[in-house]
Amino acid sequence: MLPSDRTVNQRQKRDRLPSTARLQAAQDRVQAAYLQALNPLLPVRFTQEACASLPELLSMADAPSLDDCFTAILLQQVRLKHDQQVPEWRD
Protein backbone atom coordinates (compact mmCIF):
# COMPACT_ATOMS: atom_id res chain seq x y z
CA MET A 1 0.00 0.00 0.00
CA LEU A 2 2.98 2.29 0.25
CA PRO A 3 4.27 3.77 -2.99
CA SER A 4 7.75 2.60 -3.76
CA ASP A 5 10.21 2.77 -6.63
CA ARG A 6 10.72 -0.60 -8.37
CA THR A 7 14.41 -0.72 -7.42
CA VAL A 8 13.66 0.05 -3.78
CA ASN A 9 10.91 -2.56 -3.75
CA GLN A 10 13.13 -5.29 -5.21
CA ARG A 11 16.47 -4.57 -3.53
CA GLN A 12 15.78 -2.86 -0.23
CA LYS A 13 12.23 -3.51 0.91
CA ARG A 14 11.83 -7.16 -0.08
CA ASP A 15 10.16 -9.18 2.67
CA ARG A 16 10.59 -6.57 5.38
CA LEU A 17 8.16 -4.30 7.16
CA PRO A 18 8.59 -0.54 6.95
CA SER A 19 9.76 0.85 10.29
CA THR A 20 7.39 3.04 12.30
CA ALA A 21 9.48 6.10 11.43
CA ARG A 22 9.38 5.25 7.71
CA LEU A 23 5.60 4.77 7.83
CA GLN A 24 5.06 8.08 9.58
CA ALA A 25 7.38 9.86 7.15
CA ALA A 26 5.40 8.41 4.22
CA GLN A 27 1.99 9.63 5.39
CA ASP A 28 2.05 12.90 3.42
CA ARG A 29 3.33 11.16 0.27
CA VAL A 30 0.62 8.52 0.53
CA GLN A 31 -2.00 11.22 0.88
CA ALA A 32 -0.69 13.01 -2.20
CA ALA A 33 -0.35 9.82 -4.24
CA TYR A 34 -3.63 8.16 -3.40
CA LEU A 35 -6.12 10.45 -1.79
CA GLN A 36 -5.50 13.61 -3.81
CA ALA A 37 -5.06 11.81 -7.13
CA LEU A 38 -6.44 13.23 -10.35
CA ASN A 39 -8.00 9.85 -11.12
CA PRO A 40 -11.17 9.72 -8.97
CA LEU A 41 -11.02 5.92 -8.79
CA LEU A 42 -7.63 5.83 -7.06
CA PRO A 43 -8.84 7.05 -3.63
CA VAL A 44 -11.71 4.55 -3.78
CA ARG A 45 -9.32 1.73 -4.65
CA PHE A 46 -6.94 2.76 -1.86
CA THR A 47 -9.75 2.67 0.72
CA GLN A 48 -11.05 -0.68 -0.55
CA GLU A 49 -7.60 -2.26 -0.47
CA ALA A 50 -6.89 -0.80 2.97
CA CYS A 51 -10.15 -2.22 4.35
CA ALA A 52 -9.48 -5.61 2.74
CA SER A 53 -5.97 -5.92 4.15
CA LEU A 54 -6.42 -4.16 7.50
CA PRO A 55 -9.25 -5.72 9.52
CA GLU A 56 -8.95 -3.01 12.19
CA LEU A 57 -10.38 -0.49 9.72
CA LEU A 58 -13.72 -2.24 9.60
CA SER A 59 -14.28 -1.47 13.25
CA MET A 60 -13.07 2.15 13.09
CA ALA A 61 -15.46 3.87 10.70
CA ASP A 62 -17.65 3.42 7.63
CA ALA A 63 -15.37 5.70 5.62
CA PRO A 64 -11.89 5.44 7.15
CA SER A 65 -9.70 8.53 7.11
CA LEU A 66 -6.01 8.54 6.27
CA ASP A 67 -5.29 8.70 10.00
CA ASP A 68 -7.47 5.61 10.51
CA CYS A 69 -5.53 3.82 7.76
CA PHE A 70 -2.19 4.69 9.31
CA THR A 71 -3.33 3.64 12.76
CA ALA A 72 -4.41 0.28 11.32
CA ILE A 73 -1.13 -0.04 9.38
CA LEU A 74 0.90 0.60 12.54
CA LEU A 75 -1.15 -1.98 14.47
CA GLN A 76 -0.63 -4.53 11.71
CA GLN A 77 3.09 -3.75 11.61
CA VAL A 78 3.43 -4.41 15.35
CA ARG A 79 1.43 -7.63 15.03
CA LEU A 80 3.53 -8.97 12.14
CA LYS A 81 6.79 -7.96 13.77
CA HIS A 82 5.83 -9.69 17.02
CA ASP A 83 3.92 -12.76 15.82
CA GLN A 84 5.88 -13.62 12.68
CA GLN A 85 9.23 -12.00 13.52
CA VAL A 86 9.25 -10.10 10.20
CA PRO A 87 12.35 -7.86 10.09
CA GLU A 88 12.07 -4.09 9.62
CA TRP A 89 13.12 -2.09 6.58
CA ARG A 90 14.97 0.95 7.90
CA ASP A 91 17.26 2.07 5.03
The pLDDT value recorded for residue 86 is: 80
Report pLDDT for 3.
56
The model's pTM is 0.70
List the chain residues with pLDDT less than 50: none
d(CA 90, CA 76): 17
Q: pLDDT value at position 12?
A: 63
